[in-house]
Structure 1
Amino acid sequence: MKNKITNFLAVDIGNTETAVAIYKTIRKNKSHNCSSIIREKVIRIPTRHYETPDSLFSVFAPHFQKKKLNVIAISSVVPQLNSAWSEFGNRLLDSKTLLLDPMKIPGIELKIDNPSEAGIDRIVNAWMGFRRYGGPLIVVDMGTATTFDAIDKNGAYLGGIIAPGISLVTEALSTRTAKLPKIDLAMPKRVIGKNTVSALQSGIVLGHAKMIEGLLSEMQSELPEAKVVGTGGLMRVVQKR
């Protein structure tokens, strides 16, 4: 008997960017245990709040129209796009579509005041982080916002921190001030800037790195021995620090 191969699409709809990844799951003969998961392709586009099922199809279908997609799993922090993506999967790709609900992720207890308010992106980070690295764990995700999420030794989600993202700070300074330019996000070579750009890099990039270091120190005082893992498209900016 041949191995069973299942193709599925993972969709991550963020405030700034949407990432779509094609995965292949290969199960062993006579076994329901997953032997391997292979990521085949990732497509990234800016998140546009006016998307329709047809516009999504025109962008993404050429990348996987020859594949039979068994399941589409959607993680979204932009609720107004949920129906377009669901219809895109159900009607245009003829695939089973799952819209992930933070309160229905199996195997993770939400030890927070209002579980219904939890962002699905943060819960997925916590779920995957614990399964890959164990706990206690802190996941730092640098996107539109920079978030910190705490997971205890048993895999329960304890809450965390939401801070303005580094790109938001950069954009706010360049649009709300008359003379400050929008800068490249790069770690400065020295703290004391000798010009406007290097001074901004010290304040924005180095300042953000120091914020992360400081908040992690405070979190680890409440969650001793917690490991730290970083993710997100902007983590590269500070990871060399």
Structure 2
Amino acid sequence: MLMTIDVGNTNITVGIFDKQKLVGNFRLTTGMTRTSDEFGTAIGEILRYNDIEKQDISDAIIASVVPKIMHSLTSGIIKYFEVHPILVEPGVRTGVKIITENPRQIGADRIVNAAGALGLYGGPAIVIDYGTATTYDLVSAEGAYVSGVIAPGIRTSAEALWSKTAKLPEIEIRKPEHILAKETISSMQAGLVYGQIGQTEYIVKHMIAESGYEDIKVVATGGLGNLISKETDCINIYDPELTLQGLRLIYEKEMKNRGADR
């Protein structure tokens, strides 16, 4: 089985694949400081709870935007699962050609999402990830990463509201029944959710217009992506597993390339 690990700013998402089938996935908190032993035992215990033994894991691949935890995480995977994980970094075959001015500035998660969208749905595509930041990435039909837009994520914006204002409370992020809110909580919910919907529609519209691409697919992922994708026609596909599937596809390409080099 293949272990795929997406290290984001808020969560570490782990997926387990049996060939091309995702048979399990779970999350750990990124912000908690862990040793290699803590990573190894925590992941092993959760796998065992899902009836997956550590000896069932034959390989692993990791994409990360949080460098400071990588030594402990990779060491834990090596020590407890006896596999050396592939890291999504320059030199790994992703199937995505980055043609921006500074390719090294593009986060590994965005490259993985682009690879997932291209492999599963084809291009050209706009890939939207509703995470700690909301990212919009444009990929051509030929597999080139063309451009990207970064905005504050919904939860990040919400936390800014209640941490930077004296009287605004911490709230549940959900769509209120009406945009014409009559009290504080639904007013905040309306601003956050309808604001994100409006942002999405505006950015997607202008990315399509400036790119000149026709028949472009808009693929969304991320924890709160389902909330937004239900409310707008500009999103064609919502795939909560896109990043994990992208990691699987990159792993397959890299292993094929390594086999060809032998």
Scaled by the length of structure 1, what TM-score is found?
Answer: 0.89
Q: Decide which of 137, 144, 147 is 1:159's aligned counterpart.
A: 147
Q: Does 1:234 align with 2:224?
A: yes
Q: Which runs of 4+ in 1 moved over 6 A?
A: none
CA gap of 1:187–1:68, structure 2 versus 1, over 3 A, is: same
Aligned residue for 1:150, secondary structure, equals strand
Q: Is 1:57 matched up with 2:29?
A: no
Secondary structure class of the residue paired with 2:5: strand
1:153 shift after superposition: 1.5
Partners of 1:209 and 1:159 in 2: how far apart? 21
Aligned-partner residue type, residue 16 of structure 2:
I
Q: Which amino acid aligns with 2:23?
A: E
Picking from 15, 18, 37, the partner of 2:12 is: 18
| CA deviation after TM superposition for structure 1 residue 41, in Å | 1.0
Partner of 1:32 in structure 2?
A: none
Residue 95 of structure 1 corresponds to: 83
Structure 1 102/219 Cα, relative in aligned 2: closer, same or farther at 3 Å? farther
Larger radius of gyration: 1
Where does structure 2 lack aligned partners over 5 or more consecutive residues? 232-262
Residues of 2 paired with 1:159 and 1:71: CA distance?
Answer: 32
- State the distance in 2 between where 1:20 and 1:65 align: 15
Q: Does residue 195 of structure 1 match 2:189?
A: no
SS, match of residue 104 in structure 1:
coil
**1:124 is matched with which residue: 112, 118, 134?**
112
Asked whether 1:84 is paired with 2:67, we answer: no
Cα distance, 1:9 vs structure 2: 0.4
- Measured on the aligned residues, the alpha-carbon RMSD in Å equals 1.4
- Residue 70 of structure 1 corresponds to 58
2:21 maps to: 38
> Matches of 1:173 and 1:54 in 2, distance apart?
37
Supply the distance in 1 between the matched residues of 2:78 and 2:8 (Cα, whole angstroms): 21
Q: What one-letter code is carried by the residue in structure 2 that aligns with 1:232? A: G
| 159-168 or 85-94: bigger deviation | 85-94
What is the match of residue 2 of structure 2? 8
Q: Give the 3 Å change call, closer, same or farther, for CA 196–103 of structure 1 in structure 2.
A: farther
Note the C-alpha offset of 1:108: 1.6
Gapped regions of structure 1 (runs ≥ 5): 1-6, 26-36
- The count of aligned residue pairs is 224
Q: Within 1, Cα distance between the matches of 2:108 and 2:179?
A: 37
Larger RCO (alpha carbons 8 Å, 6+ apart): 2
Q: TM-score, normalised by structure 2?
A: 0.82
Give the partner amino acid of 1:89: I
What is the CA deviation profile of residues 114-152 of structure 1, one whole-angstrom value per residue up to 9, with x for unaligned ones? 011110000000111011111110000000000000001
Check 1:103–1:174 CA distance in 2 against 1; reply closer, same or farther (3 A cut).
Answer: farther
Identify the structure with the greater strand proportion.
Answer: 1
Would you say 1:221 and 2:204 are equivalent positions?
A: no
Mapped partners of 1:230, 1:181: distance in 2 = 29
Q: Which has the higher helix share?
A: 2
Among 99, 102, 111, the alignment partner of 1:111 is: 99
The Cα shift of 1:48 comes to: 2.7
How far does residue 109 in structure 1 lie from its aligned partner after superposition? 0.9
- Within a 5 Å distance, the mapping from 1:198-213 to structure 2 comes to 198-213=186-201
Letter paired with 1:119: G
In structure 2, relative to structure 1, the CA distance for the partners of 1:106 and 1:173 (3 Å cut) is: closer
